[in-house]
Amino acid sequence: MTETLKLAGRDLFWPPADELTEAAERIRARLGDWPPTHVDWRICLTAPDVANGGDLIVVADLQQHGEQIARWMTQGAGVIEAVAGRAVLHLGGVRYQLEGHLAEDWIPALAAFLDCGFDPHDALVLALAWRDGDEAKSGDAWPCDLSRFPRVAGLPDAPAQPFAACPDALGLYPVLPTAEWVERVVGFGVKTVQLRRKTAEPDELKKEIARSVAAGREHDAQVFINDHWQAAIDAGAYGVHLGQEDVHTADLHALAAAGVRLGLSTHGYYEMLTALHFRPSYIALGAVFPTTTKAMPTAPQGLARLARYVKLLDGVVPLVAIGGISGDVLPQVLSTGVKSAAVVRAVTEAADAAAAVASLQQAFA
């Protein structure tokens, strides 16, 4: 008999549906221990009289609901438009479009993944990767077969050829603020670094990028440039690292044609699928832990999620863990199976940068 986990104390569905609740509890029981969700989501199969910020209202056709949609969203609710082979989530002014398989149990699966603490767009990805009866199979029931996962729709065309490859195991990956830091760290023997220059005049920025690229060539190191893709092309950089928002503005076709490697940031399942569409050289997974080096759009992922991401994507694309990683936690990060970890303060704020790099490198040995 399949184990169940009672999800007591709140309404999972509106109107209440015992059969759906029982299915959600069976699925949730097979998904393991996760921190409590920070939002008590309620999946509404019929529109409630008054929607709230914890409601996800499922409809078959947005056009049939007209002005109701705008009112629900004003009230803070999300709307999921679901028809055969397609589910579109409208939440917080963002449209998340997915194409894939809608199992008979996709709605209780969605409730179960929401209870695991995943945001609605990531929980919806997992619900579309779920198959009826997965909760009854032996072993790990968590979706980890990439061929079952949905596709993100509505994205710009990817370049005709995948981005140039980089090593599967990038190892220690310091993210550094200046060309001087790049020169120092590649001089310590580090083979992969990133120049993340936040502020600089255009002429100064070009000089910084040129210096960094030259240092990489001198020490046979792979230098990625954060954000400034055109200057990176002009300087002949090994690679460029971009955020999710940049794939809509950067000329990815020019980057690919120039042979520049591409790394893309991701913060969960939906963004991983988005990144995979563009066939990058590597995908960064984060933020693993809280970080003060930049404002993050999502809560820290934690090691349990990182391990799940690695299980899904290992062997598909090189992976880099990033966000709040210090020497103290690096062994735990690597225990998830990820073969590369980006660090910032662990190097730039170390009392002895050379000693810090040597100690961090030992974790990869």
Angle at the Cα of 88 from the Cα atoms of 133 and 95, rounded to 5 degrees: 140
| 157 is an annotated ligand-binding site residue | no
User: Which residue from 86, 109, 91 is spatially nearest to 31, judged by alpha carbons?
Assistant: 109
Helix axes 106-115, 120-129, angle to 10 degrees: 130
Residue type, 110: L
Q: What is the dihedral of CA 149, 153, 156, 161, to 10 degrees?
A: 30
Tell me how many helices (H) and strands (E) the chain has: 13, 15
Between helix 179-187 and helix 353-364 the angle, nearest 10°, is 60
Is residue 119 annotated as involved in ligand binding? no
324 is in an annotated binding site: yes
> 13: Cβ–Cβ under 8 A, 6 or more apart, which residues?
20, 21, 42, 43, 44, 45, 107, 111
The residue behind tokens 């809509």 is 248
Residue 292 marked in a binding site: yes
Does the annotation list 194 as a binding residue?
Answer: yes
Residue 206 annotated in ligand binding = no
Which parts of the chain are beta strand (E)? 13-14, 42-44, 55-59, 78-83, 86-91, 94-99, 151-152, 171-176, 192-195, 222-226, 239-242, 261-266, 282-286, 319-322, 340-343
**Phi then psi dihedrals of residue 209, to 5 deg:** -65, -45
Q: Would the annotation count 195 as a binding residue?
A: yes
Q: Which residues pair with 152 in a beta bridge?
A: 98
Residue 196 assigned ligand-binding role: yes
Residue 44 · residue 14 · CB < 8 Å: yes
Does the annotation flag 298 for ligand binding?
no
- Is 226 known to sit in a ligand binding site? yes
Q: Residue 131 annotated as binding?
A: no
Is 198 labelled a binding residue?
A: yes
The upper half-sphere exposure of residue 68, i.e. CA atoms within 13 Å in the direction of its Cβ, equals 16
Helix 106-115 to helix 18-29 angle (10° resolution) is: 60
Of the candidates 269, 266, 223, 273, the one whose C-alpha atom is nearest the C-alpha of residue 245 is 266
Whole-Å CA distances, 202 to 150, 188, 292: 41, 29, 26
* Sequence ranges of the binding site: 194-198, 226-227, 246, 265, 291-294, 324
* Sequence ranges of the binding site for Mg(2+): 227, 246
